[in-house]
Amino acid sequence: MRKSLYALLILGVGMSAMAQNEQRHHHRRKPLEQMVTGQGYGLAGCGLGSIVFGPQPGMVQVVAATTNGTFYSQSFGITSGTSNCDIPRMGQQAAEFIQVNKEIVMKDAARGNGETINALADIFGCSDANVLGADMQKHFSTYFNPKNNSYEITRRLLKSLKTDAALKASCKSA
């Protein structure tokens, strides 16, 4: 009796270790883009359509996969009644990028340079990423107020591109 109890104990330890591994793995198995996407996606309102507001307020879904099945949802630069249509195509790309890379974008912005700033400069057509980096660092709290979602951050960036002299000179107008 004792023997089998011990055996069961060991088996239990082994199994729970496996199960724990499995849990983590189950949790991890969804690729990141799916985790960000959440359940379901649909035709986006605007531009690239990469970002769709989910059922709960504040929840943002990102559709990244461009397999043929989902390709349509991202294909059209249209304007319909959905919100965020004030943002041009370039901004939709930026908003998607910021949404997915938010933790790193914020860190690079606070530092004033970094790879994600280079990518944003690429999206905004800025010839000098350092100008954009310096601006994002200087106005960090304006851009990255915790209340701002990716769209709001993008909107403020686009505004700076139009109003700030240095940025205007360096970047294409949106």
Distances (CA, A) of 99 to 26, 128, 147: 24, 23, 14
State which of positions 22-41 bind another protein (CB under 8 A). Answer: 22, 24-26, 28-29, 31-33, 35
Among candidate residues 140, 50, 146, 53, the one with its CA nearest the CA of residue 100: 50
Per CB under 8 A, 137 contacts another protein: yes
Exactly one of 38, 43, 85, 88 binds another protein (CB under 8 A); that residue is 43
Number of residues in the chain: 174
State the number of CA atoms in the 13 A half-sphere of 15 facing the CB: 6
Q: How many Å apart are CA 11 and CA 20, to the nearest integer?
A: 14
117: alpha, beta or left? (left if phi > 0; alpha if psi -120 to 50) = alpha
Exactly one of 84, 124, 135, 144 binds another protein (CB under 8 A); that residue is 144
Amino acid 164 reads D
Exactly one of 46, 52, 95, 119 binds another protein (CB under 8 A); that residue is 119
> Minimum Å distance from CB 79 to another protein?
11
Exactly one of 40, 83, 122, 166 binds another protein (CB under 8 A); that residue is 122
Per CB under 8 A, 56 contacts another protein: no
Exactly one of 53, 88, 138, 168 binds another protein (CB under 8 A); that residue is 138
Q: How many Å apart are CA 103 and CA 61, to the nearest integer?
A: 16
Q: 62: which strand partners?
A: 51
What residues make contact with another protein under the rule CB under 8 A?
A: 2-4, 6-7, 9-11, 13-14, 17-19, 21-22, 24-26, 28-29, 31-33, 35, 42-43, 64-69, 71-72, 75-76, 78, 80, 97, 100-101, 103-104, 106-107, 109-116, 118-119, 121-123, 133-134, 137-138, 140-141, 144, 146
